[in-house]
Chain A
């Protein structure tokens, strides 16, 4: 069943690939946009109106290892891109498993 599925996919893809690429051509679309109003007070500090979905400021990272949503204060991101929660970093002795940077500070 699975093999048949793949074969069908192959045939379809085969046909598509031998013709023009199947991604649609670019065209103008209308899309509803959620806006965020920003006004300035006397101190020139931006005053943000809260969106329905909440503040846009990042307050968490996703740990790449345990896949948990972790507050930024409990997570670290190495320059090479490895991002983990501190519990997972501890498993690697706070040394980056890719580039060996010291992540203890």
Chain B
């Protein structure tokens, strides 16, 4: 199959500072909300992540959600976890998703099912996230299934993404894990939500020391935190994330907390943009998707660039 690159990949290769958004599919069989969100993000984000039963809660599937995004004129990034499918199901879904026109995928381990709404469900983890990345790469480059059998024609040619967490401990080891993912075939990364910019900068130094920013595109994860209440909850209850006290206080003291939240997020994006080796931002506006256009505008991310050879404006 000829090279048919995604808009996301094309923009990275053009050297643009890329912006992606995220949609969490609903706990229902109705795709209208996804299409609305996708419409809303069009022109503000270059592509949109569709989460795969995030937080281990049953939702409309990420691939079906990707179809709704395509119908709305956007570009999906399909998330795929290792929790719910074995290698047969994963490869089958990859073939299906690519046949429907989805060209980006993000490989993740997935939240453990005990935290979701089916805590006694069996998990799969037939492959881990690094094996998943390698499997997708081999399907593309070597044109083989995981068993070694040749894919005779029309192999899926995904632009392969992975996640990185600069905030999990031990700090120094996170970069090696990232390198393993690159060796396995990851082409772009989206990081955990960043609030502690100082720590992120230190992590990026380690990334640059190993030249990883030249081997994969790195997108920094950001989140507009709507209120001091949200910040306090995240600080106390969300693991793998550092919410500085300073941010909580700043929101608490603000007259208009939502305006302050936008201001903080915009400042973060402007700061991140100056860090060498960062190729874009991934805006995760959980439960506050309508604010993304305003953030993109204030952070100077508009107008979104056109991808050479791809006419459609994505979202």
Contact = CB atoms under 8 A, between A and B. Distances in A.
A58 B131 contact: no
Interface stretch (B68-76, B111-119, B243-251, B298-306): B111-119
Contact of A10 (B57, B146, B173, B227): B173
Interface string A24-41: 001000000000000000
A100 interface: yes
B191 interface: no
B115 A6 contact: no
A26 B146 contact: yes
Contact of B230 (A21, A22, A97): A97
A10 B172 contact: yes
Interface residues of B, number: 45
Contacts of B135: 26
Nearest to B210: A17
A20 to B, nearest CB: 7
A16 B261 CA distance: 42
Given A98-B287, A99-B286, A100-B287, A83 B176 contact: no
Among A13, A21, A58, A77, the one with the most B-chain Cβ atoms within 10 Å of its Cβ is A21
A88 to B, nearest CB: 9
B180 A16 contact: yes
Nearest to B33: A79
Contact of B120 (A17, A58, A80, A101): A58
Contacts of A62: 114-115, 119
Nearest to A66: B237
B99 interface: no
B226 interface: yes
Contacts of A77: 57, 117
A54 B120 CA distance: 10
B130 interface: yes
Given A58-B118, A99-B288, A17 B179 contact: yes
B26 interface: yes
Contacts of B134: 21, 23
Interface string A1-20: 00000100110011011101
A18 B183 CA distance: 8
Nearest to A95: B229
A13 B232 CA distance: 35
Nearest to B135: A26
B196 interface: no
A65 B235 CA distance: 12
Interface of B: 24, 26-27, 54-55, 57, 87, 114-121, 127-128, 130-131, 134-135, 146-147, 170, 172-173, 176, 179-181, 183-184, 210, 226-227, 229-230, 232-234, 236-237, 286-288
Interface of A: 6, 9-10, 13-14, 16-18, 20-23, 26, 54, 56-58, 60-62, 64-65, 77, 79-81, 83, 92, 96-101
10 contacts: A17-B179, A21-B134, A58-B121, A60-B119, A77-B117, A81-B55, A83-B116, A98-B230, A99-B287, A100-B227
